[in-house]
Structure 1
Amino acid sequence: MTATVPAPLPAAELARLTGRLHADGIIGLPGAFTRDWVRRLGEDIDVAFAEARARPDGAVGRGPHRFYVEIHPEQLRGFADLVTHPWITAVAESVLGPAYRIVEVGFDVPLAGAVDQPWHRDFPMPAETARDRRLTSLAVNVTAVDTEPDMGPFEIAPGTHWDDGSAFEHGMFPPRAAYPRYRELAARKFPKMGDISIRSALTVHRGTANRSAKARPVLVLGLDAPGAGNDARHDTAVTPGFWAALPESVRAHLDCPVVDVLRPITQKHTIEGLVMGESGDAG
């Protein structure tokens, strides 16, 4: 069950949220879901993570002791709750347009011993964003645990989604000479179970060192404007029964194959995994 949220969002509140997203590159909503809902999410992530680590290339490294796994929607019992949450749908429609697409479902897991990632964005800046200052994709994050200071919290530099990335390695990794600015801008995030955020994956960010004995799994839902092209990096599919049970409002945004048997996903985004092997925050 989701927490009570106005549906639709009042126009003034939606304008405030999208304005802050445009300015900062990230917004958050505390208490969007109940803790029981998030416990079920955590259980589903645990099952999928164990399965992915048991097969070759199932879990992609994003630095030492840090993994990413892409999954199919029906591996999450709460998928429909998530993608119909009125706060998410209202922001997605406003920023990406009414025909936005659901292109990715996955999760990041920083384990004990994960080190500071290099500052990065998740993919190169699209031409439309550089030319028109228009965001063509959004990432929704849902923590599966209460984030504590020693668990390697997510760190983000607000406003950097507009930074010129022409000097970034692979269009994603800024030079170390830029690190002092990101450290000065940086905000560490400590979401609790039930909180969600929406961000531009272009906003420069990093996972920090996990000095605890606990994992910090975070669900990732990727949304695209029509034609953004991030679906080429992903292999989302559903079975006929799952597809038929989804509300029409979800099927309208989920453009993916309907297959008799789901095949485990091998993540295609490999450059990041190579560069994320670096550690430390030199510079």
Structure 2
Amino acid sequence: MVQSIGGIAKYSAADLDRFAQELNRDGICVIRNLFEQKLIDEWLEGFERLFYDRKNQPGGLAPREVSRYYLTLPWVYPFANQMVFANPVVMGILERVFYQEYVMVQMGVDVPFPGSDYQETHRDFRPLFSDRIVTPLYALAVNFPLVEVTADNGPFQMARGTHVLPREEGLQKIASGEIPMESFYMQPGDVSVRSPLALHRGSPNRTNQPRPMVVMGYAMHWLHTPKVDLTLPRDYYDSLPEQLRQMLRCEVVEKLPQNKAETYINFKY
């Protein structure tokens, strides 16, 4: 049963079981009202400052087609928050679908601006072996918006169940209408957990405001993830419990770099 305490949803073990079942079956689950509005407001304010700074730096933003960008978040306030990257509800779901140790490998923001268009339908990862062998959930993306996601400002679109289909079969079923390309509308505080193998795309932002969507990446400990990275300042890293230090696949530095070029550009399969 979902209960609400102080306006924030609290989830039971049965709820987490249900989310894990949806994730395995559909390739996505949506957790409503997980984060407080205050937290979202802090992240949005921090994102807006960061984006303004990054857009004036060479390579500070990764272009993702027309009027769509990606930027890695620095591990400073408000983004360095255990209740976000190690949220108990999210971790409870990951522990139900990952059968080995997993690591966090990514924390950034995807943001379409006015003038963006539909992305090509794609996957973010390749199958482990081939399309003829169903790939288990070996990597997951956890997303939450910093503004309301509507039909007009570029909702994430995905075809449920295509994470267990060969790519070409999934594309054919989408083209024929057998599997719809579904838009996922979200409120600030909502969180989605999805398989990057499910066929998906970004849609156009037809408003006059950007639509920032946070993405956190988690993967089995053995997966090589050269396109994304985490860099943590040593004082923050040393303050974390040992369990969380082991969960973070990161570079630890004495001081965060001021200017860092984005590398997560080629991401589609």
Rounded to whole Å, the distance in 1 between the matches of 2:177 and 2:231 is: 37
Q: Secondary structure at the match of 2:66?
A: coil
User: Please, which moves more after superposition, 74-83 or 94-103?
Assistant: 74-83
Q: Secondary structure at the match of 2:215?
A: strand
TM-align CA RMSD = 2.6
Counterpart selection for 1:222 from 214, 217, 226: 217
Counterpart selection for 1:119 from 105, 116, 121: 121
Change (3 A) 1:252 1:67: same
Alignment of 1:137-156 (within 5 A): 137-156=139-158
Equivalent residue for 2:208?
Answer: 213
Mapped contact 1:70–1:266 kept (Cα < 8 A): no
Rounded to whole Å, the distance in 2 between the matches of 1:33 and 1:129 is: 36
TM-score, normalised with respect to structure 1: 0.83
Change (3 A) 1:30 1:13: closer
Alignment of 1:17-56 (within 5 A): 17-56=19-58
Change (3 A) 1:204 1:265: farther
Rounded to whole Å, the distance in 2 between the matches of 1:181 and 1:225 is: 34
Change (3 A) 1:134 1:272: closer
Deviations 1:159-185 (A, max 9, x none): 1112223x69xxxxx87x665246851
- Kindly tell me the number of residue pairs found equivalent between the two proteins: 263
CA drift of 1:13 comes to 2.9
Rounded to whole Å, the distance in 1 between the matches of 2:85 and 2:112 is: 24
Q: What residue identity is the alignment partner of 1:268?
A: T
Rounded to whole Å, the distance in 2 between the matches of 1:249 and 1:182 is: 45
Equivalent residue for 1:109?
Answer: 111
Mapped contact 2:73–2:79 kept (Cα < 8 A): no
Equivalent residue for 1:95?
Answer: 97
Higher strand share: 2
Rounded to whole Å, the distance in 2 between the matches of 1:271 and 1:183 is: 29
Equivalent residue for 2:10?
Answer: 5
User: Please, which moves more after superposition, 235-244 or 108-117?
Assistant: 235-244
Mapped contact 2:128–2:135 kept (Cα < 8 A): no
Higher helix share: 1
Q: Secondary structure at the match of 2:53?
A: helix
User: Please, which moves more after superposition, 78-87 or 39-48?
Assistant: 78-87
User: Please, which moves more after superposition, 143-152 or 214-223?
Assistant: 143-152
Equivalent residue for 1:204?
Answer: 199
Counterpart selection for 1:192 from 187, 191, 207: 187
Long gaps (5+) in structure 2: 1-5
Rounded to whole Å, the distance in 2 between the matches of 1:144 and 1:213 is: 16
Mapped contact 1:233–1:269 kept (Cα < 8 A): yes
Q: Secondary structure at the match of 1:55?
A: coil
Equivalent residue for 1:59?
Answer: 61
Mapped contact 1:58–1:266 kept (Cα < 8 A): yes
Change (3 A) 1:20 1:4: closer
1:258 aligns with 2:260: no
CA drift of 1:46 comes to 1.4
